[in-house]
Amino acid sequence: MPIILADYSISEIKSIFIMQGFAGLSLFSVLLLMALGLAIIFGQMGVVNLAHGEFMALGAYMVYLCSQITSDHFPAFQKYYFVVAIGVAFVVAAIFGAFVEWAMIRFLYKRPLDTLLATWGLSLVMQQAFRSIFGAREVTPTLPEWLMGSFKPTDTIDIPINGVFVMILSLLLTLGVYLFMFRSRTGLHMRATVQNRIMSGAVGINTTLVDRFTFALGCGIAGVAGAAFTTIGSTGPDSGSRYIVDTFLVVVFGGAGNMLGTILSSFGIAQAQSISEFFLEGTMGKVATLMGIVVILMLRPQGLFPSKVRV
């Protein structure tokens, strides 16, 4: 690294770190949204959902579909469709998630290996469905003009507007999830079910409905992550699978089910990847980040902020 840095002036290094830092914030936003949904499912329910990335891709494809419909039939609303598309991505992913929990996941509770294999099979089915419906090539929605361009604080620093938008979206959704989990009656039921399922059922909480709603909520948040992803990359059938490993790293590293741990770990991993991949080859940057996480988990296997698990 010192040898690589020697090729740049101090001002160039400063600009590189600032720009890569903002690029890392875009990745952080997508990872945070993905990890929020996965932390709810994995941390609250103990379900290892390997199809979580495909729910992200489903949300991204919904944005693309909304873009095509708007361009073909309602061009006057091109400036506004993206906000509506985010809601569509959430609703479609959540409804499909509720269906998956009803049709498959509810039969596999307390069977982690079976759940892992079943959701892996679901991910393959969803990828093939994306290929059949949208084609094998990657697609990109037409973004509204207000998401294009960048800020230029200095001559050497460009801050993309879409990255700022995605970051604001992820922070607002994180705040909304926090208020929902800790300030609403349904959130109380979810946390009570995690603490003690038998006692929760004894006091009148419908734990079956709580499980279905929890899984749907996690999948819906993944759909919003897919909508955010469309602003920084194109969408293909396997787009979600590229993020699933990083998302699990975020959840495990931060502590399953802990929101603060999820935020801090997603920020740290995104920044480490963004900066290391600039100075190193992309693969080597990922390897360096992964090795750092492995070393930390060896010293602290329960993650940064461990949470209580379901009994």
Number of domains in the chain: 1
pLDDT the model gives residue 308: 53
pLDDT at 130 exceeding the cut of 90: yes
What mean pLDDT do residues 30-57 have? 86
Helix (H) or strand (E) holding 2, with range, is helix 2-5
pLDDT at 257 exceeding the cut of 80: no
- Spatial separation of the C-alpha atoms in residues 191 and 185, rounded to whole Å: 10
In tens, the pLDDT along 90-123 reads: 999 999 999 999 999 989 888 888 898 999 999 9
- Spatial separation of the C-alpha atoms in residues 210 and 190, rounded to whole Å: 6
In a domain, residue 306? The reply is no
In a domain, residue 311? The reply is no
In a domain, residue 48? The reply is yes
pLDDT at 1 exceeding the cut of 50: no
pLDDT at 127 exceeding the cut of 90: yes
- Spatial separation of the C-alpha atoms in residues 263 and 37, rounded to whole Å: 12
Retrieve residue 37's tokens.
């949904």
pLDDT at 40 exceeding the cut of 90: no
In a domain, residue 304? The reply is no
In a domain, residue 310? The reply is no
Structural domain including 56 reads 2-299
- How many Cα atoms within 13 Å fall on the side-chain side of residue 301? 1
**Percentage of the chain with pLDDT > 70?**
81
- Spatial separation of the C-alpha atoms in residues 180 and 64, rounded to whole Å: 29
pLDDT at 32 exceeding the cut of 80: yes
Beta bridge partners of 235: 139
Q: What are phi and psi of 256, to 5 degrees?
A: -55, 125
pLDDT at 133 exceeding the cut of 90: yes
The owner of tokens 């230029």 is 152
**Percentage of the chain with pLDDT > 90?**
32
Question: Nearest-CA neighbor of 250 among 30, 19, 97, 46?
Answer: 30
Q: Say which residue, 143 or 278, is predicted with more confidence.
A: 143
- Spatial separation of the C-alpha atoms in residues 39 and 281, rounded to whole Å: 30
- In this predicted structure, which of 75-79, 131-135, 221-225 has the lowest mean pLDDT? 75-79
In a domain, residue 29? The reply is yes
- Spatial separation of the C-alpha atoms in residues 66 and 73, rounded to whole Å: 10
In a domain, residue 305? The reply is no
In tens, the pLDDT along 191-247 reads: 888 777 788 888 888 988 999 999 999 999 999 999 998 988 889 999 888 888 788
What mean pLDDT do residues 12-22 have? 60
Q: What are phi and psi of 35, to 5 degrees?
A: -70, -30
The CATH number that applies at residue 51 is: 1.10.3470
- In this predicted structure, which of 173-177, 189-193, 198-202, 269-273 has the lowest mean pLDDT? 269-273
Q: What are phi and psi of 232, to 5 degrees?
A: -125, -5
8-state DSSP, 178? H
Please report how the helices 259-279 and 282-299 are oriented relative to each other, as an axis angle in degrees rounded to 10.
Answer: 140
The owner of tokens 């929101």 is 259
Query: How would residue 48 be classed by pLDDT, with cut points 50, 70 and 90?
Result: confident
